[in-house]
Amino acid sequence: MRANVWSGRNTVQVENVPDPKILNENDAIVRITSTAICGSDLHLYDGYVPTMKRGDILGHEFMGEVVEKGPGVRNLEVGDRVVVPFPIACGNCWSCKHELYSVCENTNPNSGLAEKLFGHATAGIFGYSHLTGGYAGGQAEYARVPYADVNQIKIEDDLPDEKVLFLSDILPTGWFGADLCDIEGGEVIAVFGAGPVGQLAMASALMMGAERVIAIDGYEYRLAMARNKAGATDVIDFSVDPDIVEQLKELTGGRGPDAVIDAVGMEASHGHGALHAIDRVKQANRMESDRGHALRDAILSCRPGGIVSVIGVYGGLMDKFPTGALMNKGLQLRAGQAHVQRYMKLLYEHIKNGDIDPSFVITHRLGLDQAPDGFETFKHKQDDCVKVVLNP
């Protein structure tokens, strides 16, 4: 089959690789009809996530048709149309039973490797380095889906791929980011990053009852999408004025947002002169893995007693973490890879009811063979790119 593989920093290429096979009785094989490039794929592309290997198939947002299933798969039939969540969950461990699917205790066969870096292993993830199991990803014609009873949602109507594809990651991730903010109605929520996840976090926060949502980004076209499509009530363009903390205070009568969502992660590109320069040099020399302006400013701007929700991806260590502000302001710091399986059903209902159509983030539609162009366009924010969907 054809697949998009990582072949070194800033290089991916579409190659012929063997077709996937059933390895365990509860596996299924899916013929992929739509897949996407995720912002977090860029961290792999840029070489900031350790344990990548040449030949790794990328991609953790995909959907398609079941073409084969192992004898242990109970709730799927060949021919079913499914969306596959990015974290691979077993469904049976204590974490899965408590809906903490992204920290499933059984699906990462490289847990020894992960424990060295993080203290504990987390769930396997499709196409997302060997630290999360070394599973082949979904930017391909076919993929093997392990524990297939747990790791899919069946699409039983004729909604087009584009409307349901993002149940795999970015819609549940955005929703999870907003869910961590304990929104009850009337809050002001600030979202750092107006990429696809940030856009859907904004839309989710509004659906949950937030009164105002402030989008923060450095690209005019992404802020325009936030305002016009995601529903942001205010925007901050840090390419115009980099002092985000002051602007957030001004917009909130000096209080600061009730909760702040970091939808940026380890490659933040704003930041104040000297600190940013130090971070950039240290990260380029692999002395610091995580560039932290977004998280620092999130903590500095959040109102005392508020919540900082981290859904942007970090991979290692950060310098100059504002522990003083975190502690003395009494903030709650919440984080995680989204527990996608917890939200898929609910969000599928919202899509069917027309409450949200996450396809508004799509700006580019390409064939699988054009994946390398897709990565370059997305990485360099060319051609007003927000989200690339690939059709194998």
Partner 1 sequence: MSNKAALTIACPRAELERLWRESGYLDGVAASVRFADAPGDRGTEIHVTLERGAPGGKLGEALMKLTGREPLAKVKDDLRRFKQEVETGVIARSDSVPEGELAERKLKQRPAHPLDPSEPDKAAV
Q: What are the respective helix, strand and coil percentages of the chain, to the nearest 5?
A: 35, 20, 45
122 binds partner 1 (CB under 8 A): no
Specify the residue, 138 or 312, whose C-beta has the smaller distance to partner 1. Answer: 138
Among 64, 85, 134, 292, binds partner 1 (CB under 8 A): 134
Q: Cα dihedral angle (338, 339, 345, 346), rounded to 10 degrees? A: -60
Residue from 264, 227, 353 nearest 42 by CA: 264
Among 84, 90, 213, 259, binds partner 1 (CB under 8 A): 90
Contact 2, 140 (CB under 8 A): yes
Q: Least distance to partner 1 from the beta carbon of 225, Å?
A: 33
Q: Least distance to partner 1 from the beta carbon of 193, Å?
A: 27
Tell how strand 62-69 and strand 388-391 pair up. unpaired
Quick check: helix, strand or coil at residue 190?
strand
Quick check: helix, strand or coil at residue 37?
strand
Q: Least distance to partner 1 from the beta carbon of 59, Å?
A: 11
160 binds partner 1 (CB under 8 A): no
Among 75, 92, 228, 239, binds partner 1 (CB under 8 A): 92
Stretch that binds partner 1, among 15-23, 151-159, 180-188, 291-299 (CB under 8 A): 15-23
Q: Least distance to partner 1 from the beta carbon of 140, Å?
A: 8
Among 63, 113, 148, 263, binds partner 1 (CB under 8 A): 113
**Residues touching partner 1, count (CB under 8 A):** 44
Site string for partner 1, 188-227 (x = CB under 8 A): ----------------------------------------
Supply the DSSP string of 234-286, one letter for each residue: EEEETTT---HHHHHHHHTTTS--SEEEE---TB-----HHHHHHHHHHHHTT
Among 33, 51, 233, 332, binds partner 1 (CB under 8 A): 51
Q: How many helices (H) and strands (E) does the chain have?
A: 13, 17
Per DSSP, what are the bridge partners of residue 364?
388
Among 87, 138, 146, 271, binds partner 1 (CB under 8 A): 146
Distance CA 99, CA 83 (A): 18
Half-sphere exposure of 47 (CA within 13 A, CB side): 10
Specify the residue, 112 or 330, whose C-beta has the smaller distance to partner 1. Answer: 112
Q: Least distance to partner 1 from the beta carbon of 390, Å?
A: 17
Interface contacts to partner 1, rule CB under 8 A: 3, 5, 17-21, 23-26, 51, 53-57, 72, 90-94, 97, 105-113, 124, 127, 130, 133-137, 144, 146-147
